Amino acid sequence: MFLDLNDPGLLRQQALINGAWLDADNQQTLDVINPSSGQVIAAVARCGTLETRKAIAAAEAAQLTWKQYSARQRGDLLRSWFESMLEHIDDLAKILTAEQGKPLAEAKGEIAYGAGYIEWFAEEAKRIYGDTIAAPDSDKRIVCIKQPVGVVACITPWNFPNAMLTRKLAPALAAGCSVVCKPANATPLSAYAIAELACRVGIPDGVINILTGVTSEIGAEMTSNPKVRKLSFTGSTEVGKQLIEQCAGTVKRTSMELGGNAPFIVFDDADLAEAVKGAIVSKFRNAGQTCVCTNRLLVQETVYDEFVQLFQKAVAELTIGDGFDEGISIGPLIDAGAAADVRGFIDDAIAKGATSISDQTITEGMPETFVAPVILTGATPDMRVFSDEIFGPVAPVFSFKDESEAIALANDTTVGLACYFYTRDIGRIWRVAEALEYGIVGINEGLISNPMAPFGGVKESGQGREGSKYGMDDYLEIKYMCMGGINS
């Protein structure tokens, strides 16, 4: 596939190490494939242990200088980077759609969203405050300051290849840290493109290093190298647990944004039209491939049939196809394996008594990466769609009798990232929001992510928060300084 970019220099295929674009030491490459067509669109450097070690060493050296930049200097550079991303939004969106598959309009939305984190933390760089604390006696003074944690390793997923990286890079750089990043092998081009822009605006060599390749080797070096003081990971709970274990050997700080199983609760007093709108954006954005995506729709039995009818009508209006085509709502899943997994969820539910409602079909000749949006009515807790993260355009609808049952069903999971509920009862809003065991709660709202809010989960959905004023804390250490001899 030929990408008609206004700035072809954004399509980078080498690793960025210490300000230089480099091939892998062994000259090996890995293909980047457009999931809509199956066409190879790039061949990027396939790096491993040696290249990762070099990147970490470069980051360590660069961080010594970068942390000496004033907060205003770091903020000004981040601001320039943000402006450059918006200036190149069309090209960045084309690259994203080509490697990930989401509709072009949705890709542009991701670029703006991802750039928003850089803008936010450009401003937060100037708001790293310390404290003075009342001393135990008059001869002492107690002061606390915050300093950058050091070299940060970042591992990001394929579903939001721009935004998942910027919301780690931006606070790290704002705090005075340098970074070594490993984007998903399926979608490295977006990471390389924004890194190219970072270089252009003057972010010093070695502050940002990005490489893809042998995941096991890169990950092992990141988690074992003592020069890395923090690891930030977005991905599955299973992999996150493994990385936490691996980081224990050098007692690294970790931030983990892991799997979800988001319930979407519709009470009988809800505005059903608004609930349907929220369910559509929450369930089907990025073809259902988001960590905060609605996984289970829980609808009160008195409005179940009415909601399903309205929901079916809205889902029927979604369009499936290549992300570069006009008017497309849902693109492909990331690869054929992911699509097969999603079809497995549908088969399991139907075998256990659910009814599949789908008003669209996959046209002949479409790659096997495409899955038509499906509503599953009559869903029950013994089905995989209740307990496992679907990551596809499948919407199972469960029924419940009352508020206590809705809360029990929603909390019946080992993870707790995002949840949603619709009601017009102010008392219920407080009761349910406080009872739900999730880090993020959308109340009468299906689109909840923004740079100003703390993003993260509880239970096995991870630790730490990204975005907001709290997002800088994971990249800073608190240093206590006790000054004695004041009265001497």
Separation between Cα atoms, residue 372 and residue 64, nearest integer Å: 51
Number of alpha helices (DSSP H) and beta strands (DSSP E) in the chain: 14, 22
pLDDT for the residue 2: 63
Q: Domain extents for the chain?
A: 11-258+462-479, 262-450
Tell me whether residue 181 is one of the annotated catalytic residues. no
pLDDT in single tens digits along all 488 residues of the chain: 468 999 999 999 999 999 999 999 999 999 999 999 999 999 999 999 999 999 999 999 999 999 999 999 999 999 999 999 999 999 999 999 999 999 999 999 999 999 999 999 999 999 999 999 999 999 999 999 999 999 999 999 999 999 999 999 999 999 999 999 999 999 999 999 999 999 999 999 999 999 999 999 999 999 999 999 999 999 999 999 999 999 999 999 999 999 999 999 999 999 999 999 999 999 999 999 999 999 999 999 999 999 999 999 999 999 999 999 999 999 999 999 999 999 999 999 999 999 999 887 887 788 999 999 999 999 999 999 999 999 999 999 999 999 999 999 999 999 999 999 999 999 999 999 999 999 999 999 999 999 999 999 999 999 999 999 999 999 999 999 999 999 87
CB 296 within 8 A of CB 148: no
Which member of 124, 196, 221, 257 is catalytic? Answer: 257
pLDDT for the residue 364: 78
pLDDT for the residue 53: 98
Look up tokens 């209740």; give the residue. 386
Q: What share of the chain is helix, strand, coil (3-state, %, to 5)?
A: 40, 20, 35
Q: What are phi and psi of 291, to 5 degrees?
A: -70, -20
The CATH number given to 11-258+462-479 is 3.40.605.10
Tell me whether residue 419 is one of the annotated catalytic residues. no
* Fold annotation for 262-450: Aldehyde Dehydrogenase; Chain A, domain 2 (3.40.309)
Look up tokens 């730490």; give the residue. 464
Classify residue 204 by its DSSP letter.
Answer: P
Token pair belonging to 89: 């939004």
CB 29 within 8 A of CB 46: yes
Token pair belonging to 7: 């700035």
For residue range 92-107, list pLDDT tens digits in order: 999 999 999 999 999 9
Q: What are phi and psi of 381, to 5 degrees?
A: -65, -15
pLDDT for the residue 1: 47
Rounded alpha-carbon distances, angstroms, from residue 93 to 16, 78, 190, 305:
21, 20, 9, 39
Separation between Cα atoms, residue 443 and residue 430, nearest integer Å: 10
Which member of 247, 291, 293, 419 is catalytic? Answer: 291
Look up tokens 């970042």; give the residue. 154
Separation between Cα atoms, residue 83 and residue 287, nearest integer Å: 29
